[in-house]
A and B are shown apart, each in its own frame.
Chain A
Amino acid sequence: GQNIDQPTEMTATEGAIVQINCTYQTSGFNGLFWYQQHAGEAPTFLSYNVLDGLEEKGRFSSFLSRSKGYSYLLLKELQMKDSASYLCAVTGGGNKLTFGTGTQLKVEL
């Protein structure tokens, strides 16, 4: 089975940097995804990591350490519109995603 842990809530200031952590325990691993979900809306894809290291995409970066079962999503130059839930999800293969409970990020002035 899959077990995914991420903090329930985080608060950060506009313009700052925030790191959202995710730890996982899986019986098989074929990649880790981060999704963003604004309230009342559908999750949207942010990133995918399957190899160790950092993947950078604009203001967002995602890191993976397979040996530690650990990932983080780094958001730079925070904007108010970044207030959302950030979902960590793991796939063990076969197109099946197991999601964490999500981290609700609140960006304040």
Chain B
Amino acid sequence: EAGVVQSPRYKIIEKKQPVAFWCNPISGHNTLYWYRQNLGQGPELLIRYENEEAVDDSQLPKDRFSAERLKGVDSTLKIQPAELGDSAVYLCASSISRGSYNEQFFGPGTRLTVL
């Protein structure tokens, strides 16, 4: 079974440029998450989807970040315009219920560098 797929793996852009990240979750996983992980820190949730509905986007900086999951499968996270402080690894995860808990499976991430 394929894991969570993300692309690109690496992206270098100049500040003020737009950038987009793509994620395809594990087949059958209805819940999809976007996290941002700064160096030496744990992942921080940006947005969570249940199917195509964004159920938690309280940590998403909505002035420059947007996300969509139109058909409830793959998802795109966009930053426009990018700032120097956006340099981080952007992780996508999907989850499946294990009865008493939901196990999240993470993709390899996209490492963004903003110059």
- Chain A interface residues toward B at CB < 8 A: 4, 8, 30-31, 33, 41-45, 48, 50, 87, 89, 91, 94-102
Contact = CB atoms under 8 A, between A and B. Distances in A.
B106 interface: yes
B95 A95 contact: yes
Given A101-B41, A101-B42, A43 B48 contact: no
Given A94-B56, A95-B31, A102 B42 contact: yes
Contact of B43 (A45, A91, A99): A99
A101 B105 CA distance: 19
B25 interface: no
- Per DSSP, chain A at the interface is loop
Interface in B26-80: 31, 33, 40-45, 48, 50, 55-56
B14 interface: no
Interface of B: 4, 31, 33, 40-45, 48, 50, 55-56, 91, 95, 98, 100-109
B100 A42 contact: no
- Per DSSP, chain B at the interface is strand
A11 B107 CA distance: 28
- Determine which residue in A4, A41, A45, A50 has the highest number of CB atoms from chain B within 10 A of its CB, and name it: A45
Contact of B106 (A4, A44, A102): A44
A50 B74 CA distance: 31
